[in-house]
Amino acid sequence: MTFSLELTEKNGSINGFSITNIETENETKSEVKGIYLKNSKTLKIYEKSIIYTKSKAPLNSFCYLTMSLNFTGKFNKKRLEGTFTGNFLDSTKCAEGKVILMPKEKIERKIEKIERKIEKIERKIKTKKSSSNIDNEISSILIDNQKKLELNWKNKKLKLLIWDANNEDGDRIKIKINEKAALYNYETTNKKKQFSWKLKKGENIISITALNNGTNPPNTSRIQLIDKEKKYEFQTQLNKGESATIKIIRK
């Protein structure tokens, strides 16, 4: 599993993000918080929440890491070593072990040496992948009541599919498009609900509102929007009364 950390420290407070399974179908970016203990040169950090993920796994199956790391080595050989534990949202332990983190630049230099040897083959693979999948690639983005997304749209209509992102737990939602009810008091299930909607030229607003928290909070839904050959996939994570907003600009 590939893992990357990007951190900033100010007055002992640490903020940043982690990325796991880099450049794979399960790539996940998480918000990281923590503290830096100057006397012991120790970082105590934890993954707080998911910023985005390409994985289609249920949100309650994600393993959130907590790490205790120390600086070791001298000068340009400095690295971070320590231990980690992982927990699900319900605090059940899902992983533990030791970790060694090296500067990104050092790893990249080693990778570059390997890449130069296989550059011709890699170029052919990338070209083939780009030409066949560029319009059909789906990325799953996590949205909540604080995030507003904007999409450019070509088609006069949108096709929308919605279903429960986790196990069915009675989540109920309503969807409005340009203030008109598209779905109301709808209970999401693992079976995909599909409908089409005619868009006006210019700005169109889709709002998804949680009507309850279900039996396994928060209220989560997976939504797919289809514009001709392009597909956009989102996961909503909302508490009762909260709304997620997607702005569509039809050209």
Domains for the chain: give ranges and CATH numbers: 3-102 (2.40.128), 140-250 (2.60.40)
CA distance 221 to 211: 12
**DSSP single-letter state for residue 61:** G
**DSSP single-letter state for residue 74:** S
Q: What percent of the chain has pLDDT over 70?
A: 88
- For residue 109, what pLDDT is reported? 73
**pLDDT over threshold 90, residue 57:** no
CA distance 166 to 173: 15
Q: What percent of the chain has pLDDT over 90?
A: 49
- For residue 107, what pLDDT is reported? 67
Task: Using a cut of 0.85, tell me whether the model's pTM lies above it.
Answer: no
| Tokens coding 166 | 């986790």
Q: Which long-range contacts (CB under 8 A, 24 or more apart) does 240-243 make?
A: 240/210, 240/211, 240/212, 240/213, 241/209, 241/210, 242/144, 242/145, 242/209, 242/210, 243/145, 243/207, 243/208, 243/209, 243/210
Rg (alpha carbons) of the chain, rounded to whole number: 21
CA distance 175 to 227: 18
Three-class SS state of 240: coil
- For residue 162, what pLDDT is reported? 94
Tell me: the pLDDT tens digits for 170-202? 999 999 999 999 999 999 999 999 999 999 999
Q: pLDDT averaged over the chain?
A: 85
Span 143-164, average pLDDT:
88
**pLDDT over threshold 80, residue 130:** no
Cα 62 to the center of its chain, rounded Å: 11
